[in-house]
Amino acid sequence: MSSLVNLALASNLLWGKIPSDVGVTLPNLLVFNFCINKFTGTIPGSLHNLTNIKVIRMAHNLLEGTVPPGLGNLPLLEMYNIGYNRIVSSENSALGPLGFLISLTNSTRLKFLAIDGNLLQGVIPESVASIGHLSSLTLLNLSYNSITGEIPTEIGQLENLQMLGLAGNRIAGRIPDSLGNLQKLNQIDLSGNELMGRIPTAFGNFHSLLSMDLSSNKLNGTIPREILNLPSLSMIFNLSNNFLNGSLFQEIGLLESVVTIDLSNNRLSGDIPSSLRNCKSLEEFYMARNSFSGPIPSTLGEIKAWKL
């Protein structure tokens, strides 16, 4: 067994504790995949001693405790997924409650980092600037925790990022313009936070974006014309439950491929743009609880589901 390189037990009904010495008894492991089971206990610290390991997946279990030290020992790590467990922040770490993020600076091959759906608290460290060295990172998901503070501008250095998930936290402050540097992004979800200020016009740089969800924040100002000129949007465009005001520009008709537009619960006013007729793929259009006025364009009758 000591020569085993791939241990994949995912998507079963397995329970019990993962042996704490798994990284000792299986020193040649490259892939450790225990996700979607019912494992309890803590993340084995010995896994973080496997200097050649590439994949660690333990998402969707019942694991508790903190992220053990040693992530900085994994220079070849490509995927680290501990999402949807009961992992908490470390109260004793000299690097802070989310200090383990800083230790990942040595994992320059990391492509997939998901710690969403846990009980993590604290501020994303300012020294997360080191995460800018993770030039291979394509997915960063910290959603559905209790993370506070602001979005670090340094996240804008992750030039290969394709998915950014920070939803369902308590993140406040303004959305940094630097996120507009993430030109390969195809999904951004900042919903369910306490973000304020205007939507950055730099979001118009997201030429590969498929889905944008900024709902349930405290964003104000007008909807920038720039983010309506994203023809790649083909899934969700959700700005609902904010304090956005002003008119809805005719440029919304440029979203020809989007399936769902949700602008409900804002302070938008003016006419409903006739250019919506160009949104040929639109199936759901929500604009309830705003201050729109004037006639309803006849072309809206072609939308499968829409709510005023």
Give the lowest-confidence range in 10-14, 62-66, 280-284.
Answer: 280-284
Per the model's pLDDT, the better-predicted residue between 92 and 189 turns out to be 189
Confidence of residue 1 (pLDDT cuts 50, 70, 90): confident
As given in the structure block, the two tokens for residue 22 are: 């798994």
pLDDT in tens, 269-303: 999 998 988 888 999 999 999 999 988 877 666 66
The pLDDT score that the predictor gives to residue 74 is 94
Give the mean model confidence (pLDDT) for residues 18-32. Answer: 95
Domains of the chain: 80-302 (3.80.10.10)
Using alpha carbons only, give the angle 88, 133, 227 rounded to the nearest 5 degrees.
85
How many whole angstroms separate alpha carbon 306 and alpha carbon 308? 7
Kindly state the percentage of the chain with pLDDT values over 90: 78
Closest listed residue to residue 108, CA positions, set 84, 141, 130, 139? 130
pLDDT tens profile 239-258: 999 999 999 988 999 999 99
Confidence category of residue 205, pLDDT binned at 50, 70, 90: very high
Judge whether residue 307 has pLDDT over 70. Answer: no
- Going by C-alpha positions, the residue among 123, 165, 162 that lies closest to residue 144 is 165
pLDDT, one tens digit per residue, over 77-132 is 999 999 999 999 988 776 778 888 888 888 889 999 999 999 999 998 765 555 65
- Which pLDDT belongs to residue 295? 87
- Mean pLDDT check: name the lowest of 102-106, 193-197, 204-208: 102-106
Task: Taking the CA atoms of 237, 238, 239 and 240 in sequence, report the sign of the dihedral they define.
Answer: positive
Mean pLDDT over residues 180-186, rounded? 96
So what's the pLDDT on residue 124? 87
Q: Which residue has the tokens 């507009």?
A: 180
Over residues 203-222, mean pLDDT? 97
- pLDDT number for residue 84: 98
Q: Measured between alpha carbons, how far is 91 from 68 in angstroms, rounded to an integer? A: 12
The pLDDT tens digits of the residues spanning 47-63 come to 999 999 999 999 999 99
pLDDT on residue 91: 81
Q: In sequence order, which residues have a C-beta less than 8 Å from that of residue 20 and are 6 or more positions away?
A: 42, 44, 45, 46
Give 169 or 297, the one with higher predicted confidence. Answer: 169
Token pair for 55: 């994949």
First-residue to last-residue Cα distance in the chain: 63
Question: Across residues 218-229, what is the average pLDDT?
Answer: 96
Residues 199/227, Cβ–Cβ less than 8 Å? yes
Per-residue pLDDT at 204 exceeds 80:
yes
The 10 Å CB-count burial string (b at 16+, else e) for 207-224 is eebbbbbbbbbebbeebb
